[in-house]
Amino acid sequence: MQLNNRPFLVWLIWLGLIEGTSTLVLFLVAMPLKYGYDMPMAVSIVGPIHGVLFLGLVAMFWIGRSEIPISTKLMWLGMVGAVVPLMPFFVDVKLYELLKQDSGSGT
């Protein structure tokens, strides 16, 4: 498959890594601080950041359907995967394989 927009794919991979990491920070750091140590400020900070990253990732998958292009299946996997913890990392593997496949084509 010929990629039309490699930089967009690279940004999509990076945003997936960042959004996945923000999910882990929210669940493994901020929420335990809120409920275990009565420090709700952590969720007040990390929550909105994660929310913006989540919306950005979903929007980039939607746009990436036509910009990169990626398959409809991969688009939906990425959008639904953004909701499931750790799933963005697995979707990024698929995206990285797509990037490597295009790199190996010699164009």
Give pLDDT tens digits for 72-83. 999 999 999 999
User: What percentage of residues in the chain have a pLDDT greater than 90?
Assistant: 84
Please state, as a whole number, how many other Cβ atoms lie within 10 Å of the Cβ of residue 8.
16
pLDDT above 80 (res 2): no
Cis peptide before 88 (omega within 30 of 0): no
| Residue 4 confidence class, pLDDT cut points 50, 70, 90 | confident
Residue 3: what pLDDT?
A: 79
For residue 54, how far is the Cα from the chain centroid?
A: 7
Helix axes 72-81, 87-103, angle to 10 degrees: 150
| Residue 12 confidence class, pLDDT cut points 50, 70, 90 | very high
In this prediction, residues 49-54 reach a mean pLDDT of 96
Average pLDDT along the chain? 92
> What are the residues whose beta carbons fall under 8 Å from the beta carbon of 52, sequence distance 6 or more?
none
| Residue 103 confidence class, pLDDT cut points 50, 70, 90 | confident
Domain boundaries, the chain: 6-102
